[in-house]
Structure 1
């Protein structure tokens, strides 16, 4: 194991999260140098079996969001588990959880109880729905939030089509990044004042704000001024070429003029009013239809060469199977190979954020269930006999 080199080196984080949202946040904190102690029940995080695997309990999704963490498997509902938390919390800078607030309260470790143990603690909780609203007690998963926020409507839901989900855990991961931002902002506040605070990041509100940037549209005005949604994004589609598809994205007025000129259709510049951004956007369905009609006259490679020559944004399509061979990603070393002690040779995306002075690093691979139970309990002052008793009673589990 290498040493932490990131800007959060020395920060201590108690990770009471499961599935994807919370672990995605805490992995980024770990990538950036924080010491993460992940607590799992002795039965394990349910995402341990999500995706493909060589060994049960170490599936691909778990491996992708739980590196740079130590793992303590203990039953928090037991008296011993409660005692472990009582000893851990005073040592922590941050507690991150996506256990519903009522569940944390039942455990006896709501924000006030934790604040009594550690006034400087940043208590960060991800919820499905804001706790001041009528949905506060409802369970929430990615699909629930995509459906509730309008995301599924913009993906499908047009021209009488049924709504559709983004085939990625977009709600979990966007909220995970918002949770990370909230933690860092609260730590900055603590740096100035010395006080910790509660940070709540609700999934529905977070994804709704994310979507509303461009899709609130006419609903952003009172009285209403047109339809919701951003028309240009509704009409953009891959353009068919002679031998496949391409993403053609003339964006500026100069881009559009250059595109229709090099395509041999300069008459469309005035016919489609592309010189005027307001008129162009109002007429975007006809503009994109003309572009698609033109795109099929050349191969993808021919278009890419022409677009590069004229500085017009464009790209081909990368299949998932080809992602690791993408020329740019390969050149920057986006995917790293590591030797996991039980899972063998594994590939993972490196931390994408680059710090000039304090680079992020991967120093621990995803832990086996309870891999560090004895280590962490020993650090907390439990004797070997006490730890052995916890294991015998199945309150704690060592890998």
Structure 2
């Protein structure tokens, strides 16, 4: 195993996406992540459509849990909790995303464990925080989109009807915030010798995510009513004769380049568009005009013209086109690996590339309890002990591969 987090041991109690994705990023960077699953496995193994005959894997699970090991046990049983405590003794980071109070009922809460293991970095992820009137809500991604302003920023320009982003943006953004916070806590522990309790609420993460440009009109206190909402203008999706492209004209040079590319030099000094502030103030008119000018030629021709004029632009790829896109192929952004019981699967390479701490090739997601026996042996359990724990349904080992 290689990567900047080699040697870091992570105990992953998380399910669904926000937690598993955050610990998967750590595994990509070399951490030894042991996923703790109930006897039936993480629920996302069966969400959407299964991709193997045994029903252990969904595409969502594979893409949120690659590179981990798995132990499957009954955490509510006395024997199961004893196993977990022995694992925690040698753990650097524990991550859980149960509803507030669940881990405390298992005697595995942050205060309970950190009093015994002061170097432990304990991470709690939840939907909307542990206090406030919404604290007891059951929360999934759309709930956070609704509360954070994301659905409002996506609203239909004409009707004002809020719309959800059609991907679980709150879960995935929270995962990135969490992975970064864990790295910061590991760095701090190197200096102080002490762990920490990190709390990440998905709502908190999405407010931070949205704020820089999404909440500009609410940034200056007392001037909210006089600041125009920059998000009311149309999006920058432009239809061409054979598809869709996007293009941006923030700077004066980019606006001039666009006008030259579409053979409309008269627009360069048009007072509505001649400065960045004017182009922002007249954003709807500008974008509608750009859309009208781009309709009569092919995407390829417009992209060539815009690139030649140094105007930011790109084709809008359909998802089916991403795998074969020339740029993505040239940069080797996707990898193929063998997933047990499934076959060959495709995964994105880690976004962060390290020159000194080279990352190991991507590894598959684990079967349910695929490492239960190996982990218990490392803890000193005999084969007879392990067979007894399996028979008593304290732990689960994988079924034979199909």
By the TM > 0.5 criterion, same fold?
Answer: yes
Mean Cα deviation higher: 265-274 or 23-32:
265-274
Deviation at 1:225, TM superposition (A): 3.4
Deviation at 1:125, TM superposition (A): 1.0
Find the residue that maps to 2:181 and give its secondary structure. Answer: helix
Find the residue that maps to 1:72 and give its secondary structure. Answer: strand
In structure 1, the partner of 2:124 is: 125
Deviation at 1:274, TM superposition (A): 2.5
Q: Which runs of 4+ in 1 moved over 4 A?
A: 227-230
Higher helix share: 1
Mean Cα deviation higher: 187-196 or 214-223:
214-223
Deviation at 1:376, TM superposition (A): 0.7
Gaps of 5+ in 1: none
Find the residue that maps to 2:224 and give its secondary structure. Answer: coil
Deviation at 1:316, TM superposition (A): 1.0
Deviation at 1:262, TM superposition (A): 3.0
Pick closer, same or farther for the CA change 1:96–1:228 going to 2, 3 Å: farther
Tell me which of 51, 54, 58 is aligned to 2:52.
54
Residue-by-residue CA offset, 1:210-256 (whole Å, 9 max, x unaligned): 11111212222221333777525742231111222211212211110
The alignment status of 1:354 with 2:353, answered yes or no, reads: yes
Deviation at 1:51, TM superposition (A): 3.6
Distance across 1 between alignment mates of 2:323 and 2:94: 35
Distance across 2 between alignment mates of 1:148 and 1:225: 19
Is the Cα contact below 8 Å between 1:47 and 1:61 reproduced in 2?
yes
Distance across 2 between alignment mates of 1:57 and 1:209: 35
Gaps of 5+ in 2: none
Residue-by-residue CA offset, 1:75-95 (whole Å, 9 max, x unaligned): 101101110111011101100
Residue-by-residue CA offset, 1:12-38 (whole Å, 9 max, x unaligned): 000010011101000110010000110
In structure 2, the partner of 1:191 is: 190
Tell me which of 4, 7, 32 is aligned to 1:35.
32
CA RMSD of aligned residues (A): 1.6
In structure 2, the partner of 1:211 is: 210
Find the residue that maps to 2:95 and give its secondary structure. Answer: strand
Find the residue that maps to 1:8 and give its secondary structure. Answer: coil
Is the Cα contact below 8 Å between 1:175 and 1:203 reproduced in 2?
yes
Find the residue that maps to 2:290 and give its secondary structure. Answer: helix
Distance across 1 between alignment mates of 2:139 and 2:74: 23
Residue correspondences, number? 396
Distance across 2 between alignment mates of 1:111 and 1:185: 18
In structure 2, the partner of 1:329 is: 328
Distance across 2 between alignment mates of 1:393 and 1:229: 65
Distance across 2 between alignment mates of 1:363 and 1:310: 40
The alignment status of 1:45 with 2:50, answered yes or no, reads: no
The alignment status of 1:5 with 2:2, answered yes or no, reads: yes
Pick closer, same or farther for the CA change 1:257–1:125 going to 2, 3 Å: same
In structure 2, the partner of 1:20 is: 17
Distance across 2 between alignment mates of 1:228 and 1:95: 44
Structure-to-structure mapping, 1:1-399, within 5 angstroms: 4-52=1-49, 53-55=51-53, 56-226=55-225, 230-231=229-230, 234-399=233-398
Deviation at 1:337, TM superposition (A): 1.5
Deviation at 1:377, TM superposition (A): 1.3
Is the Cα contact below 8 Å between 1:14 and 1:94 reproduced in 2?
yes
TM-score (norm 2): 0.94
Distance across 2 between alignment mates of 1:297 and 1:31: 46
TM-score (norm 1): 0.95
Is the Cα contact below 8 Å between 1:232 and 1:285 reproduced in 2?
no
